């Protein structure tokens, strides 16, 4: 009897089983039935460089040999500067509610305009990338973007979820413009993860939401007082009352000078540590304050990271200045844990054919992944946070 057909059938069955196993692993153990498989996160292509430390902050540069072309995407700063993106106050008709039904954030309404809602139009030719925590300045109040998302070109006016970071002003101002500011991690966490206006403003006024000890000791290590205390931050943002603006942390003489000098020294050290790379690009950073790894921003490409690196470094600097001056250092092993995927509760939001955002929480860790779906699936931005509350 000819055994060849039986051998071929057995071999084909083994191959099919192997493919099924790989597909299941790709989709992940927590993926619901019928869900699209996850885009493969290029963790194998990420590598940590030696840490960069200054005062109480340590940055671990993340590099990758994979560097896809992301020039097809428009950033908020680029769009507002060129006029391809227009942001305006929300009118009274038809835009009084968030498109994201999970987060009904409209809390106040003043003659049609809303504290927690703006309208955005992308009239350019490229999809617009928005990151939670990016600040737009002008209108009736300064606001920050509430969540990561992508806005396709030529789309209808988009009701945009935002949070207020300026108390005391509700009057016509200049058109919204690029501020080149992204709020510091304690504030950004409350916007991107908690989605609560009250928590956002509390984080603005307190400077940091990280746990500190009343006796000046954290984790058993003596801590110097923060360079930007809650009182100093409150006094800064309340200057020229009644307007209380977050942006003044970067602009007022004392606080602004502290942030600028700190951020510039951090930038120089980071640039030295990441120069001379061959075959790799810096695509992100993992951030530790004292001995605690607390934050990471990783992008699809080196070019995309370059677009955001300046304002990200400034935001990390504000957080460092607002935290106690701990000089213990986080280990590379602890930082490496921030490259793994948390295994916990997942939720997902998507606009078919445009983008998908997946949020995963495991204990104090919260992961937000923004994936572009066109022209092909690509993980554009990965935010991992060790929550402060």
| pLDDT at site 89 | 86
**Other residues' Cβ atoms within 10 Å of the Cβ of residue 42:** 16
Q: Evaluate the omega torsion of the peptide bond into residue 375 and state whether it is cis, within 30 degrees of 0.
A: yes
| Pairwise CA distance, residues 33 & 45, whole Å | 29
Give the Cα separation of 229 and 316 in Å (integer).
15
Helices (H) and strands (E) in the chain, counts: 9, 24
**pLDDT confidence of residue 368:** 97
Q: In the prediction, which pLDDT does 333 show?
A: 95
Strand partners, 383: 297, 368
The three-point CA angle 121-126-130 to 5° equals 60
337, exposed or middle or buried, with CB in 10 Å at 0-12, 13-18, 19+?
middle
pLDDT of residue 388: 85
Determine if the pTM surpasses 0.85. Answer: no
| 49: in domain | yes
Tokens of 379: 């993980």
**Is 22 within a domain?**
no
Among candidates 180, 175, 179, which has minimal Cα distance to 88? 175
Burial status of residue 23 (CB atoms within 10 A of its CB: 0-12, 13-18, 19 or more) = exposed
Q: What is the pLDDT of residue 297?
A: 98
Whether 217 is in a domain gets the answer no
Say which DSSP state 111 is in.
T
At residue 243, the pLDDT reads 46
With both helix axes pointing from N to C terminus, report the angle between 253-273 and 230-237 in degrees, rounded to the nearest 10.
110
User: pLDDT value at position 238?
Assistant: 61
Q: Are the CB atoms for 103 and 146 separated by under 8 Å?
A: yes
In contact, 132 and 111? CB cutoff 8 Å: no
Q: Does the residue 330 lie in any domain? A: yes
Do the domain assignments include residue 31?
Answer: no
Planar angle of CA 134, 245, 241, nearest 5 degrees: 170
Q: How far apart are the first and last CA of the chain?
A: 71
29 occurs within a structural domain: no
Q: Which of these, 180, 211, 186, lies nearest to 199 by C-alpha position?
A: 186
Q: Which residue has the tokens 């000890």?
A: 213
Six-digit token string for 28: 């992940």
Is residue 10 included in any domain, yes or no? no
Query: Angle at which helices 302-322 and 253-273 pack, to 10 degrees?
Result: 130
Contact yes or no for 371/357 (Cβ under 8 A): yes
Is residue 297 a part of any domain in this protein?
A: yes
Spatial neighbors of 229 by CB under 8 A, at least 6 apart, are: 207, 322
pLDDT along the chain (389 residues), means of 10: 50 46 39 39 78 96 95 95 90 40 36 66 96 87 91 91 71 70 92 90 82 45 69 64 59 68 95 95 97 96 97 93 84 94 92 96 95 94 92
Residue 135 DSSP SS3? strand
Q: Which residue in this structure is represented by tokens 């110097």?
A: 224
Supply the pLDDT for residue 209.
Answer: 82
Number of domains in the chain: 1
Cis peptide before 31 (omega within 30 of 0): no
Q: Which long-range contacts (CB under 8 A, 24 or more apart) does 237-240 make?
A: 237/204, 237/205
Whole-angstrom distance, CA of residue 7 vs CA of residue 341: 40
Reported residue count of the chain is 389
Distance of alpha carbon 356 from alpha carbon 376, whole angstroms: 12
Main-chain phi, psi angles of 5, to 5 degrees: -60, -40
Domain region containing 275: 43-211+222-386
What is the CB neighbour count within 10 angstroms for residue 51? 17
Q: What is the DSSP letter of 291?
A: T
């Amino acid at each position: 009897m000819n055994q060849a057909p039986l051998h071929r059938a057995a071999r084909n069955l083994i191959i099919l089983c192997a493919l099924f196993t790989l597909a299941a692993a790709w989709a992940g153990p927590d993926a619901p039935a019928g869900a699209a498989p996850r885009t493969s996160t290029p963790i194998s292509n990420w590598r940590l460089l030696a840490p960069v430390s200054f005062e109480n902050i340590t940055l671990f540069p993340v590099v990758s040999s994979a560097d896809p072309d992301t020039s097809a995407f428009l950033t908020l700063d680029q769009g507002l500067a060129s006029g391809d993106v227009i942001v305006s106050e929300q009118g009274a008709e038809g835009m009084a509610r968030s498109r994201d039904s999970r987060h009904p954030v409209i809390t106040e309404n003043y003659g049609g305009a809303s504290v927690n809602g703006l309208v955005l139009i992308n009239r350019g030719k490229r999809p617009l990338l928005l990151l939670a925590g990016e600040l737009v300045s002008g209108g009736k109040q300064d606001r920050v973007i509430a969540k990561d998302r992508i806005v396709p070109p030529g789309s209808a006016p988009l009701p945009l979820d935002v949070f207020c970071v300026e108390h005391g002003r509700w009057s016509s101002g200049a058109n919204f413009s690029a501020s080149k500011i992204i709020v510091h991690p304690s504030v950004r966490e409350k916007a991107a993860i908690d989605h609560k206006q009250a928590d956002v403003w509390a984080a603005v006024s307190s400077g940091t939401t990280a746990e500190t000890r009343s006796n000046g000791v954290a984790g058993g290590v003596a801590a110097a007082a923060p360079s930007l205390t809650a009182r100093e931050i409150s006094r800064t943002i309340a200057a020229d009352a009644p307007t209380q603006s977050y942006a003044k942390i970067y602009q007022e003489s004392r606080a602004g000078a502290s942030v600028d000098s700190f951020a510039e020294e951090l930038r120089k050290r980071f640039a030295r540590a990441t120069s001379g790379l061959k075959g790799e690009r810096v695509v992100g950073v993992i951030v530790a304050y004292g001995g605690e790894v607390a934050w990471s921003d990783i992008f699809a490409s080196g070019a995309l990271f370059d677009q955001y690196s300046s304002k990200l470094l400034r935001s990390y600097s504000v957080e460092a200045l607002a935290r106690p001056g701990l000089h213990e250092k986080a280990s590379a092993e602890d930082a490496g844990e921030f490259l793994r995927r948390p295994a916990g509760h997942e939720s997902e939001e998507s606009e078919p054919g445009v983008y998908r955002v997946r949020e995963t929480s495991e204990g104090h860790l919260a992961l937000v992944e923004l994936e572009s779906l066109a022209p092909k699936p690509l993980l554009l931005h990965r935010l991992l946070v060790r929550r402060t509350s």
